[in-house]
Amino acid sequence: MAKSNRIMIKLVSSSKSKHYYTTTKNKRNTVNKLKLKKYDPIYGKHVLYEEKKIN
């Protein structure tokens, strides 16, 4: 059986809030760490979110 190319990742807010999103990414197509601008409900505005591993 084939191994899945998708892995679970955690997008952690670069601001001081503890908010995070979880998502999947294709590890073959996206080898670099993701950096996305997403909405942080604690601050009420869009901030940069960076990829971290899920423990």
**pLDDT (tens digit per residue) in 13-46:** 999 899 999 999 998 999 999 999 999 999 999 9
State the pLDDT at residue 38. 96
Boundaries of domain holding 40: 6-53
State the pLDDT at residue 3. 84
Q: Please indicate whether residue 1 or residue 21 has the higher confidence score (pLDDT).
A: 21
User: In whole angstroms, what is the distance from residue 18 CA to residue 41 CA?
Assistant: 11
Confidence of residue 1 (pLDDT cuts 50, 70, 90): confident
User: In whole angstroms, what is the distance from residue 45 CA to residue 14 CA?
Assistant: 13
Residues near 29 by beta carbon (within 8 Å), at least 6 away in sequence: none
Residue 10 placed within a domain: yes
Query: Which of 28, 17, 25, 18 lies closest to 51, judged by CA?
Result: 25
To the nearest 10°, report the CA torsion of 43, 40, 9, 16.
-10
Residue 45 placed within a domain: yes
Residue 1 placed within a domain: no
State the pLDDT at residue 50. 96
